[in-house]
Structures are given as structure tokens and as C-alpha cells.
Chain A
Amino acid sequence: MRLVRLVLAVLVGAIFVYAGVLKVCDPMRFASDISNYALIPWSLGVRVAFYLPWLELIVGLALIFQRFFAGALLLTTASVAVFIGATIWARAHGIDVACGCFGSASSNLTLTWHLVLNGCILAALIVLWWIRNEMGRTSQTST
């Protein structure tokens, strides 16, 4: 169980670090991707574009190094759920946006692949929550 937790946490953490680094390097492009969703004004979007990549980077590192683990798990789950929700919302409203999840690297991914990728990350996070709860229950029983 510990090994599965470690592998999944490193995998999801690495994805978040990768996504964060790409966006940190080109915040204006990410601001443009946010703006395409037409959910918030540019002035707010550009501020989000400067903050969110750093949060992704830090929670990714927290998952990899197993520090502030539960907090990082909560933030990553919430952000993936928001990414999936925003993508579906945009498509439902006829806005054919690039999700911007991985900066310039994701511009060639179709919406379907974005959803598949985010769905896989969400599934891994759900497994991590489950393992965390199981391990917590086991340690309570043994004490």
C-alpha cells in the first residue's frame, strides 16, 4: 500500500511540477488561455496566471516529498476538478478553447485527450485519498 501511494504521489506530483514549470516560464500565454474561457476579465486572469502555476509547482513538490501531504492532496483534487469542470463548461457553451493545462505543450492535445488525462489524474488522486484513509484506519486500530 505504501509503495502504491509513493508511486502515485510521485507520478501525480511530477505532472503538477511539469505543468507548473511550463506555465511559470510563460505566464502571459497562460493568461491568454485563461482569458479564452471567457469566465473572468483579463486583469483578473493575468493575476491568476502568475499565481496558479506556482501553486501547482509547490503542491506537486509537496506530493513528491510527502510533506503537507493531505493539504497538497486536497488542493490537487480541487484544481483537477475545476480544470475538468471549466473544460466541459467551455465546450458546452461552444467555446473551443485549448485547456492551457500544460502551457505550450498542450496546444496540440484535443479536448478529449485533455479530459482523459485529467480523468486519469483525478482517478489517481481518488486512490491516494482512499489509501490515506485506509492507512489512517489501520494505524488507529493498531494503537
Chain B
Amino acid sequence: MRASVLRQVVILIGLAFLPAIGQALYFRGHPGWQKRPADSSEVTLAQTKKWGAMVLWVDARPNEEFARGHIPGALALNEDDWNGLLPQVLAAWSPERKLVVYCSRKSCNASHAVAERLRHEAGLKNVDVLPGGWEEWKENAPR
């Protein structure tokens, strides 16, 4: 009985390899195959410094992390409380401002998710992401 279950597992695992290898061969020349492709909407900290007061910071981390510390002037907007927090961002936004979303660190994804929703659901333009997030800002903050 146990052997037949294991045999089925091996067959299913093997079956999945066939189309996966085909698709991988098709994508072999894709630039993302070797390293993670850069997101065109990402901005560097140096760019945001050049923009100065034009930047409207949006903190995509959970409320409790925002309460512990955030970029001065940043507004909280996370997916857990999207409807409650969105109005304050829309009130502060104007077409000439550059909206930069950040989360904890490079590995987090919340900033990309929030930026995507701001672009598609709220219809805002000039929405970028600071990939290094709060961690990068803290490391480079003026002391």
C-alpha cells in the first residue's frame, strides 16, 4: 500500500518535469533566468533626495511597525487597513508630487503590492518603490 502511494508520488513528480523542462527551455534566454530583473518603477534613495519636498512617502508596513518609526512625513498605507488609510494618502496627493512607497527591507513585497494598487485601483501616476525600504533609509539617514 505504502509502496504504491510512493510510486504514484514519483510518477506525478516525474510527469510535472516534462512540461516544466519544455517551458524552461523556452525561457532560457530570458534575462531573468540568471538574476532577478530590476523593476522599472524602482527608485534609489539618491533620486528621492533630489526630488526633495516633492516626494510623498507612503509606508506599506503594518501599523504597529509604522508606529515604531517611519520616514518623516510618511503616511501609512497597508493592505490590512487599505480602505481606512487610503483617504489620507489621496488627500495629500497632487499630480506634481512623486509618490514613493516603501516597506521594511529589500526582501519585502508589500511596497510593490501597495504601489500596484495605487496605480490600478486609485488611478494614481508617478508611483514608485524604494526597494531598500525603511532599513535603507535608516542606514543613510542624516545623523
Contacts and interface: CB of A to CB of B under 8 A. Distances in A.
Given A70-B4, A74-B5, A32 B36 contact: yes
B71 to A, nearest CB: 16
Interface in A88-142: 94-98, 107-108, 110, 112
Contact of A27 (B7, B23, B34): B23
Which of A24, A47, A70 has the most chain B CB within a 10 Å cutoff?
A: A70
A59 B20 contact: no
B13 A96 contact: no
Contacts of A38: 107
Nearest to B108: A96
Contact of B24 (A36, A50, A97): A50
A96 B30 contact: no
Given A28-B37, A96-B61, A98-B113, A75 B107 contact: no
A31 interface: yes
A31 B20 CA distance: 14
A36 B13 CA distance: 25
Interface string B21-58: 00110010010111111000000000000000000000
B72 to A, nearest CB: 21
A68 B4 CA distance: 9
A43 B12 contact: no
Contacts of A112: 80
A17 interface: no
A110 B5 contact: no
Contacts of B5: 70-71, 74
A96 B62 contact: yes
A98 B110 CA distance: 7
Interface in A52-89: 53-55, 57-59, 62, 68-72, 74-75
Nearest to B8: A71
A42 B108 CA distance: 15
B20 A50 contact: yes
B120 to A, nearest CB: 10
Given A72-B8, A97-B108, A54 B19 contact: yes
A42 B35 contact: yes
Contacts of B15: 58
A19 interface: no
Interface of A: 24, 27-28, 31-33, 35-38, 42-43, 46-47, 50-51, 53-55, 57-59, 62, 68-72, 74-75, 94-98, 107-108, 110, 112
